[in-house]
Chains A and B, each alone.
Chain A
Amino acid sequence: MVIYILCFALLLVGIYGVLTKRDLIKIILSLGIMGYAVNLMFILFAYRTGASYAILVKGKAAAEMVDPLPQALILTSIVIELGITAMLVALAIRLFEKYKTFDITKIRRLSG
């Protein structure tokens, strides 16, 4: 139970970072932390007490295994977050060229 609460605390740290940091790069890193927290929660949901890893090895009987489906889901989710991070970093580089700053309170030409 404590592990789940710590995982949720990691998610809250990520949300805090997105909401209050002023530097573009720190916002991107906080989005990464949120992604890590959700992936960790998936793996924690897949654990069965007293089971072993989910690979068939020659000469070993198919004993009780942990749930392998969330592991496939997390692979997909990591790939998606890699793409999002790459796109956000490219946007941040372009924003720096146009606005000459990484501070998000100064990048504010669209308002109203």
Chain B
Amino acid sequence: MKQNEGMTLIVKTVTRISVWLIILYGIYIILHGHLSPGGGFAGGVIIALAFLNVMLAYGRNFITRWINIGFLHDIESSSAAIFLAIGILGMSVGGGFLANFISHGKLFNLLSSGTIPLLNIVIGAKVSMGLFIVVWTLSIFHLLDKGEKK
């Protein structure tokens, strides 16, 4: 069993079923961030760990065939820019930076409390992509011969 080809058949089969449930659980925690504990950061870490699970079970080469790392990098940078854009929008409508300018809705609904679910989604996207790219870069360090920093 070579190093880059991942783990045994049992691990691969179970991962193929369970990784989608893990991603679903992460999305649930992100979306319900204003109603129950969790929020953007915790959900983002769970989704990043789902991707890491695939990388551990199937090997490094499979990841480069499955998803495009440049695309994840673009999602990460643009989510950070969207966060700032929401903040500036809050400033231009009135009130301060990051003011809550969408209507607050009824208590305990899913679509309530203004800009907070949007900010949770944006933070979740950034954290998950960022953490996965960091771990992936750490694992291919020895393949980058010219000194390119993290």
Which residues on A are within 8 Å of B, measured CB to CB?
55-56, 58, 75, 79, 82, 86-87, 89-90, 93-94, 97
Interface of A is mostly: helix
Q: Please tell me if B138 contacts chain A, counting CB pairs below 8 Å.
A: yes
Residue from B36, B41, B107, B150 within 8 A of A75 (CB atoms): B41
Chain B residues near A75: list those with CB within 8 A.
39, 41
Q: Please state if B141 and A89 are interface contacts (CB–CB under 8 Å).
A: no
Give the size of the chain B interface in residues (CB under 8 angstroms).
13
Chain A-chain B contacts (Cβ-Cβ < 8 Å), number: 23
> How far is the CB of A94 from the nearest CB of chain B, in Å?
7
Instruction: Please indicate the chain A residues that have their CB under 8 angstroms from the CB of B37 in the complex.
Output: 55
CB distance from A104 to the nearest CB of B (A): 20
Contacting residues, chain A, for B138 (C-beta < 8 A): 86, 89-90, 93
Taking CB atoms, residues of chain A closer than 8 Å to B131 are 82
Question: Which A residues are CB-close (under 8 A) to B41?
Answer: 75, 79
Q: Residues 117-150 of chain B: 1 if any A CB is under 8 Å from the residue's CB, otherwise 0?
A: 0000000000000010010011001100000001
The CA-CA distance from A94 to B150 in the complex, in Å, is 10
Query: B66 at interface (Cβ–Cβ under 8 A)?
Result: no
Assess whether B71 is interfacial by the CB under 8 Å rule. Answer: no
Q: Once the chains are docked, how many angstroms separate the CA of A19 from the CA of B108? A: 49
Closest Cβ–Cβ distance, residue A54 to chain B (whole Å): 9
